[in-house]
A and B are shown apart, each in its own frame.
Chain A
Amino acid sequence: MKAIFLYNFTRYFEWPENKKTGNFVVYIVGKNDNLITELKNLASKKKVAAQDIEVKNTSAFDPAISSQIIYLLSDVSSAIKDAVAKNKNKGTLVVAENSGSCKLGSSISFLIIESKLKFEYSKNNAVKAGLKTNDDFKALAINVD
């Protein structure tokens, strides 16, 4: 389910020109084998605009990895602030698995409401990250700004 959400997020943001070439990198930080498998499966079938999707995964945050999306799993939640700071204005959508992470600077964080997967959204944080946003997205999210 999270893989579908992550892919869907790509429809609602515009990345800077330098991120519109090459592969569309989805960088997963932390351990979740199921998600990685699912994302790799997705990457083999879908594209973001004309870009191929590439999935990268490390167990700890690596600032040297350039990506369009960083998804921080719950086991690396302490790295959120660092990831946000290092990607400020670089056109990277920072998504966190833990709810409440928008307060720490992520643009999106997941949360569970009545057993359903939902997401919080901070347009301010997305703008700070150097992304152009789409207001339609606000209607689908729990807005925290």
Chain B
Amino acid sequence: MKELRTITRNLFLCLFSACGLCGFAQIDKLNRATQLLQARTPDLAVPVIDSVVLHPETKNDFVSWTTRGYIYYEIYKKTDKFRLNSSLRDTIISSIKKSNSLKPDEVSLANNKRLLSGLANQYYNIAKVLLQDSLNDTRSAKAYNKCKELSLIAKPDTNFAMRDVEYYVAVGSVFSNIFNNDNKNTKAHDIAKLAHLKVFDIDPDNAPANMNMGLMYLNQGINLVKSLDYGADLSQIDAIQENIVKLAKQSEQFILKVYKKDNKNPKAVQALYYIYRMLNDAAKQAEYQKKAKDLNIKLD
């Protein structure tokens, strides 16, 4: 409420400063649209502002376009806030872009940035919801890219490193869990791996990403062991052992990074015990078994 009042007051200021540039009839209309926005009746303001931005006298007025963005935003936030595709949002963005292209003054520019930043944050929320609730990585990625696109328009020097790490760790976690529960789901494996590789580009020692990658390889190895039939032929066992060793070694390199950062991390200690068990390394297996015991970590 307070925010809307501040924004509409700013819009009014811009509106009166623009009086000399436009015809009074259109200024009256713009004034009317702003009043309707302030009165929280954006539906009534829409036809008014749409006619203002189409009129030759005001179509190149940045205040009209910014006002249009805010009017549509009032409707959007009630109905479309959590929709990935929203024509209302598209209208807001195109209005703000148009306003930005008309060299707005500082006040309008700040209003434009605020609106775009808000939309960017909503896209981020959509990205997370799509990921965690719908497990839809494609739509989630689309929302995340939109978030970045709008953030860059609002603030061209935005550094996405931290947010990229946060987002891609989330993607990696969701899909590595899916893969760990169903090792036949290679799509989940590939999505998780790709997401983690993006994290490693920015932060190679990222603990959650290293843990997720390590556990994916470890679980594949454990499942291979479990899949071995008691009656499997010795030559067949040898080939399977080869794969188990490869997977355990791949897992080891990731889990050790986590362990080096935090040698009391229960998951890392537990994973290393199983890794060395798979690698038939009795000494290290005993070492991590002891650590697990000291830390009250249950094994097997």
* A contact residues vs B (CB 8 Å cutoff): 1, 3-5, 7-8, 34, 42, 45-46, 74, 112, 114-117, 140
Contact = CB atoms under 8 A, between A and B. Distances in A.
B14 to A, nearest CB: 71
A11 to B, nearest CB: 9
In terms of DSSP, what is the predominant structure of the interface of chain A? helix
B231 A7 contact: yes
Nearest to A39: B230
Interface in B180-238: 225, 228, 230-235, 237-238
Contacts of B279: 115
A4 B281 contact: no
A42 B230 CA distance: 7
Given A8-B233, A8-B234, A34-B300, A115 B281 contact: yes
B224 to A, nearest CB: 11
A115 B230 contact: no
Contacts of B228: 1, 4
28 contacts: A1-B225, A1-B228, A1-B241, A1-B280, A3-B230, A4-B228, A4-B230, A4-B232, A4-B237, A5-B234, A5-B237, A7-B231, A8-B237, A34-B300, A45-B230, A46-B230, A46-B231, A74-B282, A112-B280, A115-B245, A115-B280, A115-B281, A116-B238, A116-B241, A116-B280, A117-B280, A140-B234, A140-B235
Interface in B230-289: 230-235, 237-238, 241-242, 245, 248-249, 279-282
Chain B interface size range: 20 to 34
Best-buried of B233, B241, B300 by chain A (most CB within 10 Å): B241
Contacts of A114: 245
A45 B233 CA distance: 17
A116 B242 contact: yes
A114 B234 CA distance: 17
Contacts, number: 43
A45 B231 CA distance: 10
Given A1-B237, A1-B241, 20 more contacts: A1-B228, A3-B230, A4-B230, A4-B232, A4-B237, A5-B237, A7-B231, A8-B232, A8-B237, A42-B230, A45-B230, A112-B281, A115-B249, A115-B280, A115-B281, A116-B242, A116-B280, A117-B241, A140-B234, A140-B235
Contacts of A116: 238, 241-242, 245, 280
A73 B225 CA distance: 21
Nearest to B235: A140
A6 to B, nearest CB: 10
B57 to A, nearest CB: 80
B89 to A, nearest CB: 55
Interface in B137-180: none
Contacts of A140: 234-235
Of A5, A45, A114, A115, chain B has the most CB atoms within 10 Å of the CB of: A115
B283 to A, nearest CB: 11
A54 to B, nearest CB: 16
Contacts of A4: 228, 230, 232, 237
A5 B237 CA distance: 9
A7 B225 contact: no
